[in-house]
């Protein structure tokens, strides 16, 4: 398979999804709704802990920051999966499959749209936290970009896996787009250090990139400095998982051409 990608075709697929977004304000609202709701709920929880826990009191924004960054990963996953599900729902995969669009270009467009959806979804919540809780995640500075990128790539890897499962098993598997990512949430150390987990679970947690990111975020916010080692390990693991996600998607796509599934998928 050639690695050549046409930016024009990737752009065309992004345009297809931007048209949908442009014409549907409920979708834009929905993207921003859950992160904002999550942030509000957890913000209040954080405020409560700040007056009742010495641990959280050291950095009142830790929980709010964790919620916002978790949503980056969740939106990253959903952004990929929804772009693919849109094609399944509209029974459009047959037309796309006989167009010059290559599977790798379809993947690239899904990742681009995930970035767009994540920015639309998470930024309003991040800004809302400033007047509500006097917490600005932007004060993390440049490491925020690294955390954001790392978590979004983790979301991409899961989103590609979900898309592959939907292509393989049909739309009956679509709920995985929302559910699967929560399976790793307890291991990701979003709201607590990995050392809180039972010892036997900790190696599994460290095998996941978000564990390194959230540990790094806490280190920074609790005044222990930026942990470059955690970021490097997160990026390395992400590269591995993303490569696996792309490979699985392309492998399932190839399998769909053997099974004849590309023409007959839909609701």
Partner 1 sequence: MTAAIKVSSVSKRFGPVLAVDDISFTVETGSTTALLGGNGAGKTTTLSMLLGLLLPSSGAIAILGEDMVRHRYRVLPRLNFSSPYVELPLRLTVRQNLTVYGHLYGVAQLGHRIAELAEELELADFIDRPAGKLSAGQKTRVGLAKALLNKPDLLMLDEPTASLDPDTADWVRSYFQDYRDRTGATIVLASHNMTEVERMCDHVLIMKQGRIVDQGSPAELIGRFGRDTLEEVFLDIARDRRKAAES
* Distance from C-alpha of 177 to C-alpha of 74, rounded to nearest angstrom: 9
Q: Which is nearer to partner 1, 20 or 185 (CB)?
A: 20
CB 167, min distance to partner 1, A: 13
Q: Which is nearer to partner 1, 99 or 175 (CB)?
A: 99
Residue 177: count of CB within 10 angstroms of its CB: 22
Non-local (6+) Cβ contacts of 258 within 8 A are none
Q: Which is nearer to partner 1, 88 or 144 (CB)?
A: 88
> Angle at CA 203, nearest 5°, toward 197 and 148?
80
CB 96, min distance to partner 1, A: 8
Q: Which is nearer to partner 1, 21 or 40 (CB)?
A: 21
Residue in the structure block whose two tokens are 């772009």: 83
Q: Which is nearer to partner 1, 99 or 196 (CB)?
A: 99
* Distance from C-alpha of 152 to C-alpha of 111, rounded to nearest angstrom: 9
CB 242, min distance to partner 1, A: 24
- Residue closest to 156 by CA, chosen among 235, 252, 80: 80
- Residue closest to 245 by CA, chosen among 184, 139, 172, 165: 165
CB 110, min distance to partner 1, A: 15
CB 248, min distance to partner 1, A: 19
* CA distances in angstroms from 266 to 25, 91, 239, listed in the order given: 24, 5, 32
CB 106, min distance to partner 1, A: 10
- Is the CB of residue 116 less than 8 Å from the CB of residue 79? yes
Interacting residues toward partner 1 by CB under 8 A: 2, 8-9, 11-13, 15-16, 19-20, 23-24, 86-87, 90-92, 94-102, 257-260, 262-263, 266
Q: Which is nearer to partner 1, 24 or 196 (CB)?
A: 24
Q: Which is nearer to partner 1, 36 or 106 (CB)?
A: 106
* Distance from C-alpha of 158 to C-alpha of 81, rounded to nearest angstrom: 9
- Give the helix/strand (H/E) hosting 63: helix 62-89
CB 101, min distance to partner 1, A: 5
- Is the CB of residue 166 less than 8 Å from the CB of residue 252? no
């Amino acid at each position: 398979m050639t690695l050549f990608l046409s930016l024009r075709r990737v752009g065309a697929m992004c345009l297809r999804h931007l048209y949908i977004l442009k014409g549907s304000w409920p979708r834009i609202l929905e993207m921003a709704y859950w992160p904002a709701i999550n942030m509000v709920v957890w913000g209040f929880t954080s405020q409560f802990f700040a007056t009742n826990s010495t641990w959280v009191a050291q950095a009142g924004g830790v929980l709010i920051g964790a919620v916002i960054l978790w949503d980056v990963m969740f939106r990253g996953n959903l952004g990929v999966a929804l772009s693919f599900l849109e094609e399944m729902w509209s029974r459009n995969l047959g037309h796309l499959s006989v167009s010059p669009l290559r599977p790798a270009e379809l993947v690239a467009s899904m990742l681009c749209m995930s970035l767009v959806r994540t920015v639309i979804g998470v930024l309003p919540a991040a800004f809302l936290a400033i007047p509500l809780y006097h917490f600005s995640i932007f004060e993390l500075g440049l490491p925020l970009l690294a955390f954001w990128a790392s978590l979004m790539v983790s979301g991409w890897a899961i989103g590609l896996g979900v898309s592959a499962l939907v292509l393989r098993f049909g739309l009956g598997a679509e709920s995985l787009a929302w559910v699967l990512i929560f399976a790793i949430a307890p291991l990701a150390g979003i709201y607590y250090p990995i050392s809180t987990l039972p010892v036997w679970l900790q190696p599994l947690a460290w095998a996941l990139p978000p564990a390194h990111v959230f540990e790094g975020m806490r280190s920074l916010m609790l005044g222990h400095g930026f942990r470059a080692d955690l970021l490097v390990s997160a990026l390395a693991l992400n590269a591995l998982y993303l490569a696996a996600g792309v490979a699985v998607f392309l492998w399932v796509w190839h399998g769909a051409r053997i099974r004849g599934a590309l023409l007959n998928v839909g609701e």
